[in-house]
Amino acid sequence: MNKIADIFTSLEYGPAPESADLALAWIDSHDGRFGHFIDGKWTKPGKGFATDNPATGKKLADLTNGSQSDVDAAVKAARGAFPKWSALSGYARAKYLYAIARLVQKHSRLFAVLESLDNGKPIRESRDVDIPLVARHFYHHAGWAQHLERGFPGHVPYGVCGQVIPWNFPLLMLAWKIAPALAAGNTVVLKPAEFTSLTALLFAEICDKAGLPKGVVNIVTGEGETGAAITEHKDVDKVAFTGSTEVGKIIRAATAGSGKGISLELGGKSPYIVFDDADLDSAIEGLVDAIWFNQGQVCCAGSRLLVQESIETRFLDKLKKRMATLRVGDPLDKAVDIGALVAPVQVARVTELVKQGVAEGGTLYEPDVDLPKSGCFLRPALITNVSPANTVASEEIFGPVLVEMSFRTPEEAVALANNTRYGLAATVWTENVNLALDIAPKLKAGVVWVNGTNNFDAAVGFGGYKESGFGREGGKEGMGAYLKPAWEKALKPAPAAKAVAAKPKNPLDGDAGIDRTAKMYIGGKQARPDSGYSRPVLGPDGSLVGEVGDGNRKDIRNAVEAARAAAGWATTTAHNRAQVLYYLAENLDYRAAEFAARIKAQTGEDGTAEVAASVERLFAFAGWADKYDGMVHNPPSRTVAVAMVEPLGVMGILAPPSRPLLGSIALIAPALAMGNTVVLVPSERAPLSVTDLYQVLETSDVPAGVLNIVTGDTATLAKTLAEHDGVDAVWAAANAEISTMVEKASAGNVKQTWTSRGLYYDLADKALFEGDYFLRRATQIKNVWVPYGA
């Protein structure tokens, strides 16, 4: 009795071990050696590598390193299975997804133990978080499979999806990718991380038990070269990758010009903001979950603690006391808080970054907690006295290390939070709902948690801004990432431009001696080109219609700076943005005859219909400005998740060579309606239709810097825009060569891109281009999780 009384006094937990017997027996049933799962069958194990238990260093199994021929076989199987799988009714696919969800639940304990053995995460995390969410994703997407035609009319699956997942949430990342892909009617070739492939291989058996048709899901194990073979495979139609930003950039560059769909969920350096009115004890518990969940090996980990200065000392004292109670040890002990890091190489990397942080002036605190004598274990760490320039404040550590800074005002908190190349998640703690909902929209992150952290659900999209990638997983937007408009599959090459005479007539003949050189339009003002050169604009007979400035890198730089300075356009009310676009349309219509004549002079074609279509397109997107908005999700927890539609930021837009006025208006109108600012490169051959807009813009209340226009050589200006770190997205209605270059150069800061790749997009088609197609590409979704109830 005294011992029990002592336990109630000390609140110490004894060991609560989970048996690994069934998981080890499953490995033994495969003789400890695994091949790939291709076309519904297991291949013979081949040369490869061992997967170890990071808590003990002991080998669990031998895995096969997938070769190019293995990947070829898997892609061929997926391609062969695609016609029948995609032709099934949504209800038929839903039944398969439902069966998989049921089997995951039935074998949940086996999955949880195997995950903890292979990954090192505490069993209570894999048991209570990961595996239930896996089942939830398959249940949720079973519903999407059946209601696909209602939710996404006119859309079709991509085909074969190549998917590469990381080692921190091995089975959950698999579910995030495979469930929507199958629901949409795609087939899959997936490579799990080399450190943590076992639950993916167990999942392959689940697919077999569920009766999933052969070739629909293929699992190929291997190292980085195997993943590259999948993402670069010519017969893969859609690539989905979760992992480091560095590898994501390589994939973006490697797939440039291929026409593959692509979604990237990359790294993060997420802020955890605590205001002085927060419930400090709750914020401390939330912080424990934010940074020491899964040993800090979480892309959205709240690794940057920002505390209001007035409570900094008190908060850090509480935090250190809480850190001292964390238990580090055997992941299969249900009383353990922090398990093992995934591998020795990860321990070495985290240790080196901590040393660097201290060398740069940081102060390290580690509680005196016991560590196992062997295995990949680290103590939870806190580094204070850190400036934003410190390496540990900017680089993703991916370990149990928290970096702390203070702030004085909400404005400073936002500035510090956004001072990162990443934008995956953020957390805000305050008892003031007005403050929380003021701060959340200002944070450049795809997910914001208010008075909570690490909330996930299949019904709510997850993904980042900036170098945290693009695309969403979960929710309607995540479902849409595995579908494309049916008409895109029937696109034909754009017709060749009509030839014009090689040389203009002598500009000194007749009236041509009058200077008719159109300037750039930057920051609301006309500006001469930095190059000091102009370029002729010729009519179809070779006559000189006029001249425009020959823009260069400096002109683009100035235009981007002006566009960034006009970022307030994004916070202008949607109603006001609509009024500006309506006014712009009204003034353009007033000068319709003048613009029609200019089109005829440049192209030889009657421009009346094109001007009328341009006015109508401006009206269309003015109408959308206050109607294309978000939704409220109702996840199972006592929270609401508000899906906010936000602009991308600064967009570089390259107008098509044809339809000199409508081609530009069709692209800039949806971008401006959604709150983006734009740097536009007009049609290289017929730019005067856009330079004539300067006066219309100035008389239509378009704020300075919202729309900037730089004329010149399309290829040269496209490269500068795509490489510029101040540009958030690029749209290029251009030939295949320029499109490939734009996509490749965009990898520098992981820009979102839309390119026409030399295909003919009939931008005059109202049914296709007066609605969601460009609106969706001009926006990104931020999900703000807000708790409710007492």
- pLDDT score at 516: 66
pLDDT, residue 499, reads: 64
Residue 207's pLDDT is what?
98
Alpha-helical runs (H) found in 259-326:
280-292, 312-323
Phi/psi of residue 779, each to 5°?
A: -135, 165
pLDDT of 510 strictly over 50 = no
Summarize the confidence of residues 436-456 as an average pLDDT: 97
DSSP state of 53: -
Residues recognised as catalytic: 265, 299
How do strand 238-242 and strand 217-219 relate by DSSP bridges? unpaired
Region 564-579: mean pLDDT is 97
Amino acid 14: pLDDT: 79
Q: How far apart are CA 145 and CA 185, in angstroms?
A: 8
Summarised one tens digit per residue, pLDDT across range 207-260 is 999 999 999 999 999 999 999 999 999 999 999 999 999 999 999 999 999 999
Q: What is the C-alpha separation between 424 and 104, in angstroms, rounded? A: 28
Q: What percent of the chain has pLDDT over 90?
A: 94
pLDDT tens digit sequence for 146-161: 999 999 999 999 999 9
pLDDT at 11: 66
Q: Strands 707-709 and 677-681: what pairing? A: parallel
Residue 9 has what pLDDT? 72
Whether the predicted pLDDT of 504 surpasses 70: no
Band (515; pLDDT cuts 50, 70, 90):
low
Task: Report angle CA 536, 537, 539 to the nearest 5 degrees.
Answer: 130
- For residue 112, give the H/E element and its range: helix 108-119
CA atoms within 13 A on the CB side of 289: 15
* Chain mean pLDDT for the chain: 95
Q: What is the structure's pLDDT at 511?
A: 45
Residue (of 300, 270, 297, 274) closest to 285 by Cα position? 274
DSSP 3-state assignment of 200?
helix
790 confidence band (pLDDT: 50, 70, 90): low
Question: What's residue 512's pLDDT?
Answer: 46
Whether the per-residue pLDDT at 272 is higher than 80: the answer is yes
In the 8-state DSSP scheme, what is residue 627? T
Q: What is the pLDDT of residues 465-479, one digit of tens each?
A: 999 999 999 999 999
Residue pair 575/627 in contact (Cβ under 8 Å)? The answer is no
pLDDT tens digits, residue range 297-356?
A: 999 999 999 999 999 999 999 999 999 999 999 999 999 999 999 999 999 999 999 999
Task: Give me the sheet containing 59-64, strands edge to edge.
Answer: 33-34, 59-64, 48-52
Q: What angle do CA 765, 590, 577 make, to 5 degrees?
A: 65
Residue 368 has pLDDT above 80, yes or no: yes
Report the pLDDT averaged over residues 763-785. 97
Number of CB atoms found within 10 A of residue 505's CB? 15
Band the pLDDT of 500: cuts 50, 70, 90: low
